[in-house]
Structure 1
Amino acid sequence: MAASSTPDSFLQKPTEELLFLVQNPELYHPSLVAEAGRELRRRGASLPPPPTPEATAAPESAYPESVPETSAGARWWPAGVLAAAVLGLGWWGLHTPTKPATPPASVAAKKAEPIVLEAVKTERLPDFEAKTAAQVAELRRLLPAADRADTTATGRYLRMARRYWLAENAAAHLTSQARTGAVTAVFPGQVDLTLERITWFMRAKAYNQHLTATMEERLNLMQQGLTLRRSSLQVFKSRYEAQMQLLDPQEEKVNQEAIGLAEELRGHYQRKQPLRGNITEL
């Protein structure tokens, strides 16, 4: 298997891919199968039952320890009868014309039916690694020179930015699928994986990483955006399971707000201040 077995690698894999790994242990290294099983248990997914051992063969019937002795005639006459019967069947088989066995009509018709392969269209959730790397580099360039001079704080900030963009890109991708109706059976699992990425960012955000004021301000924007994304993804999953329309005007507004926060981080968009007062006085 090409992917590494690091926790981050398995965190980014869809649940169905991890299930395939566990269900086919003979195709992969045991350490990868074990790591996939641990990740599935962490997600609360049900693991496939282990193969049941083959039923042991029934013990041979016990023979009596002793057989009563019989006379020589009584011992050999059954063998003679059996030999005569075998010779008679052999003579009958040689003088009786054989006919080719004809399979039943239902069996012949079944064999003649063509094999139909049913294909199910699925789409794997992209990893967005290349796109995320470019976005992180862009955020680094946008930092003031004084902030970049603090290399320790800059490193921590960029690691948080990577977590944000991995989650944001995946959430935007799933929102696009919800808008176009291009969701498949793997959609709920992909939502769960993206929610895990959001949680990955939120847990790290809870700690004081001793960043600069500019970095903290931008991390707050990231947190606001992922809070909106988390709410929408949970709504999408619930509506998918209830077979309802995924995107409505309210969720579209949430999506646009999250996009606006992402653009503001990149310096491409500045949010307008909310309107205040009576509309007739403006």
Structure 2
Amino acid sequence: MSAPLSPGPDSLQSKTDAELLFLAQNPSFYHPDLVRAARQELARRGVALPVAPAPETAQATDEPDDVPPRRWQLPALLLGLLGLAAALYWWPVGNKNWKNKLGPVPKRELVAVPTHVLPSFDSLTTAQLGQMPATLPTPERRDTTAQRKFLLLARRFWEAENQSDYLYQQALAARIDSTFPGQVDLTLDKWRRLTSVLVYDHKLQPTMSARVASMHHAALVRRETLTTMKGLYLSGRPPLDQGLMYFNDSVTVLRQALLGVPAARRIRPMEELRRRVEAEEARQASPQV
């Protein structure tokens, strides 16, 4: 640490003006005699000490610090809004004397339109699901996890199939109306609920997998036949022909197999088709009355 500066005149004379000014302007850092001697040396040299600037006085503002609240603004604003609302309410929006050149508009009468609502097949579906476990081999029924998945898929199948069979029977009996296309779309959505999950491996037992494959085949046939029936109806033609009836019979065979109907009691689609063709030929050959 350097020794303190000596207050002697010789030592101060060797200092520069800047060093002397620093001593004179910082009296708290040095001995009073040294500070006084530095100021005297500056005075001898004719160097004036800078004068500290006077503290700025606060400028007076036009507005006082505490501005009284303008309580008159809120009532005035409310009155203005009320006036605007009244003006808009009474503003003319058109010619009050206007009359329809075609005369008064007639009132529309409600016309009752007969519709066919799709019935619920919940009870039938539950009964069909109750029959299916008995058609499985006993070892496969022990796999309760696979059986549960199998019955979930079967429920989706029967929900779509029962609705499809209903629409077929309605078309066969000529009891469909303008709601038929929409009912077909609803039924196709049910089939999509089944086919969309059949792309996954559900880890089923062999017989269960074979039954699900039959369900998938029936779904493809039903989707094609329903779409064709809808197109025929919209074009003004009969919604059924011999080919569509044959496809319906092929699905009926699959239904019977899924429910455990013995093979000897199942219908034979080709025989049913031949019988219908012969009946139609006989009808056309008979004299018209």
Answer yes or no: same fold by TM over 0.5: yes
The structural deviation recorded for 1:116 is 7.9
1:59 and 2:88 matched: yes
- Identify the residue that residue 162 of structure 1 maps to in structure 2: 155
Residues 235 and 59 of structure 1, relative CA distance in 2, 3 Å threshold: same
Looking at structure 2, the residues matched to 189 and 220 of structure 1 have their Cα atoms a distance apart, in angstroms, of 28
Contact 2:146 2:203 (C-alpha < 8 Å) held by counterparts? yes
Write the mapping of 1:105-254 to structure 2, written as runs, cut at 5 A: 118-254=111-247
Amino acid at match of 1:59: L
The structural deviation recorded for 1:119 is 2.5
Moved more, 184-193 or 208-217: 184-193
Looking at structure 1, the residues matched to 244 and 229 of structure 2 have their Cα atoms a distance apart, in angstroms, of 9
Amino acid at match of 1:133: T
1:263 and 2:264 matched: no
Contact 1:198 1:230 (C-alpha < 8 Å) held by counterparts? yes
Higher relative contact order at CA 8 Å, sep ≥6: structure 1 or structure 2? 1
Amino acid at match of 1:221: S
Amino acid at match of 1:139: M
The structural deviation recorded for 1:135 is 0.3
Contact 2:253 2:268 (C-alpha < 8 Å) held by counterparts? no
Moved more, 208-217 or 235-244: 235-244
Residues 269 and 245 of structure 1, relative CA distance in 2, 3 Å threshold: farther
Looking at structure 2, the residues matched to 251 and 239 of structure 1 have their Cα atoms a distance apart, in angstroms, of 11
The structural deviation recorded for 1:157 is 0.1
Residues 194 and 59 of structure 1, relative CA distance in 2, 3 Å threshold: same
The structural deviation recorded for 1:118 is 3.6
Moved over 6 A (4+): 271-275
TM-score, scaled relative to structure 1: 0.55
The alignment yields a C-alpha RMSD, in angstroms, of 3.2
Paired residue total: 172
The structural deviation recorded for 1:173 is 0.4
Looking at structure 2, the residues matched to 182 and 274 of structure 1 have their Cα atoms a distance apart, in angstroms, of 24
Contact 1:167 1:194 (C-alpha < 8 Å) held by counterparts? yes
Amino acid at match of 1:190: Q
Unaligned runs of 5+ in 1: 1-55, 63-106, 276-282
Q: Secondary structure at the match of 2:155?
A: helix
The structural deviation recorded for 1:267 is 1.8
Residues 240 and 165 of structure 1, relative CA distance in 2, 3 Å threshold: same
Q: Secondary structure at the match of 2:197?
A: helix
Residues 173 and 58 of structure 1, relative CA distance in 2, 3 Å threshold: farther
Larger Rg: 2
Residues 60 and 231 of structure 1, relative CA distance in 2, 3 Å threshold: closer
Residues 274 and 237 of structure 1, relative CA distance in 2, 3 Å threshold: closer
Contact 1:163 1:201 (C-alpha < 8 Å) held by counterparts? yes
Contact 2:125 2:159 (C-alpha < 8 Å) held by counterparts? yes
Looking at structure 1, the residues matched to 262 and 234 of structure 2 have their Cα atoms a distance apart, in angstroms, of 35
Looking at structure 2, the residues matched to 57 and 185 of structure 1 have their Cα atoms a distance apart, in angstroms, of 52
Contact 2:233 2:239 (C-alpha < 8 Å) held by counterparts? yes
For residues 71-111 of structure 1, give each alpha carbon's deviation from its aligned partner in whole angstroms, at most 9, with x where no partner exists: xxxxxxxxxxxxxxxxxxxxxxxxxxxxxxxxxxxx9xx9x
Unaligned runs of 5+ in 2: 1-84, 92-103, 271-289
